[in-house]
Amino acid sequence: MNQRGRFITLEGGEGAGKSTLLAGLCDHLLQRGVSLLQLREPGGTTLGEAVRSIALDPAHPHISPESELLLMFASRAQLVRERILPALEVGQWVLCDRYVDASYAYQGAGRGQPVDRIAALENWACAGLKADLTLLLDLPVSTGRARAAGRGEADRIEVEADAFFERVRRAYRYRAEAEPQRFRVIDASRSADKVLQAAIAATTHLFEAAT
């Protein structure tokens, strides 16, 4: 019987370097012989990608905070059942660019949705699935925004003011402090290579637990 795979999530603010890290970390894990699946939220399924195009499109400025929260969880509920759980069951490792912590940070701290409402949605929609490891790329908001600035038109969430992203950053750090056994906070102001090395070091215990 296959051993269950590991579930790693990447979190952080805009321009923190998640996509860059994900590419390097996947290369590293593949070299170690890990079979893996790389996903993103919102997205990763036909339904999820459709949700993504609606939720992030600046042409929909009037989406309410409640609708935004439900859209994120609609994408997530589908992703968990259609892709993540089946992959973990056959021993694949799943690396996901954002997961449920993003809803607490963006829709909770950012948009002011109550934490207990998000927790209720998590209990219902995520089938009890929690990440084995969450890598939080922590970076000053101004640095992340400067990095992301050259990418063309901002999406519907990226147009928010700095104060929104400061709340998001605080919420992520608070969650990391509350769950130190799951989170590893990585100083993302360092070079991409240093960030990758820190992330690789953070995955070591997942291999130990697998043997």
Footprint on this chain of ligand Z5A (rule: CB under 6 A): 12, 14-20, 40-42, 56, 72, 98, 102-103, 106-107, 147-148, 157-158, 188, 191-192, 195
Place of tokens 């019987």: 1
CB of 117 to ligand Z5A, least distance (A): 13
Q: Using CA atoms in the order 9, 10, 11, 12, what is the torsion angle rounded to 10 degrees?
A: 170
**Calpha distance 201→159 (Å, rounded):** 34
Residue 171 CB, shortest distance to ligand Z5A, in Å, is 11
Task: For residues 95 and 133, give the distance between their C-alpha atoms in angstroms, rounded to a whole number.
Answer: 10
Say if CB 11 and CB 183 are below 8 A apart: no
Shorter beta-carbon distance to ligand Z5A: residue 6 or 40: 40
HSE toward the beta carbon, residue 62, CA cutoff 13 A: 0
For residue 1 the two structure tokens come to 């019987």
- Closest CB to ligand Z5A among 33 and 150? 150
CB of 9 to ligand Z5A, least distance (A): 10
In the complex with ligand Z5A, the residue whose CB is nearer, 90 or 127, is: 127
Nearer to ligand Z5A, 66 or 207 (CB): 66
For the CB of residue 47, give the shortest distance to ligand Z5A in the complex, in Å. 14
Query: Nearest distance from residue 204's CB to ligand Z5A, in Å?
Result: 21
Task: Give which of 32, 112, 132, 34 is closest to 69, Cα–Cα.
Answer: 112
Q: Could you tell me if 118 and 75 are in contact, meaning their C-beta atoms sit under 8 angstroms apart?
A: no
d(CA 87, CA 76): 15
CB distance 8 to 133 below 8 Å: yes
Which lies closer to ligand Z5A via its Cβ, residue 181 or residue 191?
191
User: In the complex with ligand Z5A, which residue's Cβ is closer, 5 or 15?
Assistant: 15
Q: How far is the CB of 41 from ligand Z5A (least distance, A)?
A: 4
